[in-house]
Every structure is written in structure tokens, then in C-alpha cells.
Amino acid sequence: MIVVSTDGSALGNPNGSMGWAWADHIDEAGNAHEHNHTGNADAGGATNGTNQIGELCAVLEALRAHPGSEPLTIESDSQYAINCATTWIHGWKKNGWKNSKKEPVKNAELIRAIDSEICKRKGSVKFVWVKGHAGNAGNEKVDELARTYAEDCRSKLKDGYLPLEGWKSLISSSYSDGVDVPQDAKMLLDGKISSSEYHIGRCVGEDINPDFNGNNTRETERETFSDTTKYANNNAACDSSTQIINTNDESPANDESKADEDSHENNESKNSESQNKSEQKYKAVPGLRVCGTLQFTPAPNTSPSFNGNPRFITGTIQLSGYVMPDGTFNLEPTEFYMQTNAKK
């Protein structure tokens, strides 16, 4: 059985940069049987987007990288992505790709592509929901990959990289204003290069994956999240009557009346990276201190209301990276989250 983790990231809505990633759980050589890829992971993103687009891109790319007859398990912390692939899609097909509010389904290009990949895959596809930022090795790895690519897109260190359907969904969305579409992506959209040509040399990581010590999802994790396991029956996936098998009665309801996909979609679109981080609990590490001088841009003296005095602020900076052996940390331009009611 192949186990893959997927994740999407968005560094603020609207029009913040986004990222996606998948990573293998097994110590498997790239391009080996059932693995249509070179490295042990892949990641991409764009200068604009939402975390839903990122989540769906990750699932789609994971499916395409792992064709064949071997059972595939996709672990994701996005109930939106899982429900799109296993539950809501049946109602959307019946309703002509309209949601419960009779509006066009968002990200339909990506969802159709995911459905198509499940349809033609000989092996079964199982989706397992895992709690984000809870110590799951696979989830932590893809979270870092997706977030890093989003940050690199924002800082112009990397060009946007999405599957064809990801670009189409993004460009047709309300988040496309000012999006940077690289030349190779334009060629992909225009049909001048194939998807295979577009993906050449893209995968990241080594040809084997040491991050999971050769093991798939730990048994304890499977027990913890067994109530959120869903199966997509590939033999019937193209039929709107596809049966979704849940492991027990506590699984999320499949009925749209009990779990409206549009409401979930709208709620998740507000769940940007900054909001995700604000929900996490941080604690001070005894003895660990940070000091130095930060440069804020734009500077206070560039403001028309500048009165010559320093300005007091309260806020946080989200750091993700490596501390060098000498204790230094190279801080690239990043967002500062200010507490707007701070006074002094």
C-alpha cells in the first residue's frame, strides 16, 4: 500500500500567495513500480490563490504521481478536499456542477480532474483525515513544503507551479487579480507543451524518503483518525451513485442538508495561513531568547502622518526555517501581524 500526505497553504486572503505539496511515506525509489515521479515529494504554488486550491492541487498531483493497481491512501488535514473527492461530487454531478445554492461549484476544474484520476486508477483510493499541526510526520513535512513554496512565490524566489487545472481554477476565481503566470505555465495553458513536459525536473527530495524511516502511517495514528476514513471506489467513481464507505457511524455526514459544501467552502476560504497559525498554541522555551534589530518597511517616516516620534506597536512574526549553529537566523522579508488596538 502506498501512503501519501498532502497539504495546501495560503499566506493571507484575498490575493495572498499559496502553496501545495505531497510527500511519500515509504522508502521508495522514484520512478519505481507505481511511482510516476523522481523525488520523494513535490511542491508548488502561485503568487495568488486560496488554501482550497492548494489542497486540491496537492491531491491531484499525488494521484497523478501514483498511478497503478497498488492501493493508495491519501492523508489530508482538509475536510474540504476530502469531501470534494468523496462526497459532494455526486450531488454536483447530478446538479450540473451547481452547489446547493444553485451557484457554479468553485474549483470545478480541479475537482473534475481528481475524479477523473480516481476513475481510471486500477488500485483503490482511500482518504484519511489527519489533524493538522499535531505531530503527524507526513502532515508536518507537507505543511512545511507547501508553506515554503508559498513564501518563495511571494518573495519572487520561485515561479508559480500548478497543474493545468489548478491554473484554470485560479484564473477563473476572484483571487486572480495580479496573479503572475510564468511563461511555461502560459505555454501549458495554450497547449504548446504537455503536462509531462511541464513537470520535468520538478519533484523535490531524494529518490528515497528517509523522513518516515521506511514506515507508513503509525498504527496509533490510524486508530486515532479511523473515524474519518473514506474510500473512493474507483470502479464506480465516474458514476454519481458511487458508494462512500465510512468506518463507523461517527463519520461526517454525506447528506448535503447536514453538511453544506458551500458553507464549508466559504468558511475554509477564510482560513488563511495567518489564521491557521493564530489557532496554534505556542509556549515559551526556557532559556531560549531572540534579540537584534528589525527593519520595518515602509518606515514610519514615510507616512504623511509622521510626527517625528517613534511608533509603539505590538504584534508577532511567524518564523519557519533553520537556526544556524552560531544561533543566527536569516530572516527573509515576511509579514508582521500587528495588534491594531495596542496603545502606549
Catalytic residue among 34, 68, 123, 133: 133
The answer to whether residue 327 is domain-embedded is: no
Q: Is residue 320 part of a domain?
A: no
CATH number of the domain enclosing 206: 3.30.420.10
Q: What is the pLDDT of residue 14?
A: 56
Mean pLDDT of the chain: 77
What does the pLDDT average to over 167-187?
A: 94
Number of domains observed in the structure of the chain? 1
Residue 40 structural domain: 2-271
Active-site choice (143, 211, 265, 268): 143
In a domain, 318, yes or no: no
208 vs 147, higher pLDDT: 147
- pLDDT for 256 equals 35
Is residue 297 included in any domain, yes or no?
Answer: no
239 annotated active-site: no
277-287 mean pLDDT: 58
- What are 78-104's pLDDT values in tens digits? 999 999 999 999 999 999 999 988 999
Give the DSSP per-residue string, 221-247.
Answer: HHHHTGGGEEEE-TTTTTSTTPPEEES
Q: Which residue spans within the chain are E strands per DSSP?
A: 2-10, 18-24, 41-46, 72-76, 125-129, 229-232, 244-246, 315-317, 336-338
Can 133 be counted among the known catalytic residues?
yes
Q: Is 173 domain-assigned?
A: yes
Whether residue 344 lies inside any domain: the answer is: no
Q: How far is CA 228 from CA 38, 123, 222, 246, in A?
A: 31, 20, 10, 7
Report residue 274's pLDDT band, with 50, 70 and 90 as the boundaries: very low
Residue 224 has pLDDT above 80, yes or no: no
Contact call for residues 103 and 95 (beta carbons, < 8 A): no
Per-residue pLDDT tens for 9-34?
999 755 789 999 999 887 554 445 56
Mean pLDDT, residues 38-56 = 91
Least confidently predicted of 6-15, 38-47, 124-133, 239-248 = 239-248
Residue 258 — very low, low, confident or very high, per pLDDT cuts 50/70/90? very low
Identify the CA nearest to 139 among candidates 271, 5, 42: 5
- Does the annotation count 7 as an active-site position? yes
In-domain check, residue 129: yes
In a domain, 172, yes or no: yes
Name which residue leads in pLDDT, 134 or 315.
134
**pLDDT per position as a tens digit, 52-63:** 999 999 999 999
Residue of 24, 55, 115, 117 marked catalytic: 55
Determine which one of 61, 77, 117, 211 is catalytic: 77
Marked catalytic residue, from 8, 16, 44, 54: 8
